[in-house]
Chain A
Amino acid sequence: MEFTFFIEGGNFSKAGTASSEVKKILKQLNVDAKIIKRTVVSLYEAEVNVVAHAFEGNMIVEIFPDKIVVRIEDKGPGIPDIDKAMEKGFSTATPKVREMGFGAGMGLPNIKKNSDQMNISSTVNVGTQLEIVNYLK
């Protein structure tokens, strides 16, 4: 099964709609509640990152019998130093993002915590690709 969701940069009223759809699909598939929670928390963090930092992006979700693989690819400023971005507390978020309750520099570390595998690559002024893999069993 494969699904693709579009993510609009800057539109906070829609932030979370893609993750919400994935949650509904995983529930319908009777995936364990703890695995659903870990997965959708990672996806939501990633989705908020796209809304907060990029122009637009896509969330491509592939569901296999034993795992879920999600790629979040955006067009945006990219991340110049990924190691730095992975540090807890490091953030380049705007005041607007902080007003929404985010931008504390905890997104990427929390995605790592809530996923079985996480791969990230980025090109400055092009965009960022994030892959999250969670095993369903």
Chain B
Amino acid sequence: MVKVADVVDKLNAQVICGKDDLNQDIHFGFASDLMSDVLTLDTDNMLLITGMNNLQTIRTSEMSDISYILFVRDKKVSQEMKDLACENNITLIECSYSMFKTCSVLCEMGLEPVY
């Protein structure tokens, strides 16, 4: 389990929306740019780590009940994505690290893989 606030701190990341959720704990992490893969999961309490920054990333998370998305490789969230995420209570975080580096840091912190 890792706290959202600790994730933000360790990755020098920025919270784009969902600032009220920083005290929550996250159990699992899944890294993918392929939304088709994300849609096959049935894991609760999961952080999605992705470099895919478009509206369908938010839609995929909405359908899959994913409450936390971490964008890596300095990908920026658009206003449209932010609005949709806020509407669905999804926390968006941006970080400039590569996906590999991000995952290794999160793994070390205790975030568990889905499989």
Contact = CB atoms under 8 A, between A and B. Distances in A.
A95 to B, nearest CB: 14
B59 A20 contact: yes
Interface in B58-92: 59-60, 62-65, 80
B56 interface: yes
Interface in B22-59: 33-40, 42, 52, 54-57, 59
A102 interface: yes
Given A13-B55, A101-B54, A110 B63 contact: no
Contacts of A107: 36
Nearest to A93: B36
A132 interface: no
Interface residues of A, number: 26
Contact of B34 (A37, A41, A48, A104): A104
B84 to A, nearest CB: 9
Contacts of B36: 101-104, 106-107, 110
Interface in A88-112: 100-104, 106-107, 110
A44 B65 contact: no
Interface string A19-49: 1100100000000011001101101110010
A16 B33 contact: no
Interface of B: 33-40, 42, 52, 54-57, 59-60, 62-65, 80
List of 8 A-B pairs having minimum Cβ-Cβ separation, nearest first: A101-B35, A16-B59, A104-B36, A106-B36, A44-B63, A40-B63, A101-B52, A100-B56
15 contacts: A12-B56, A16-B62, A16-B63, A19-B63, A20-B59, A23-B63, A33-B65, A40-B63, A48-B56, A101-B33, A101-B34, A101-B35, A101-B38, A102-B35, A102-B36
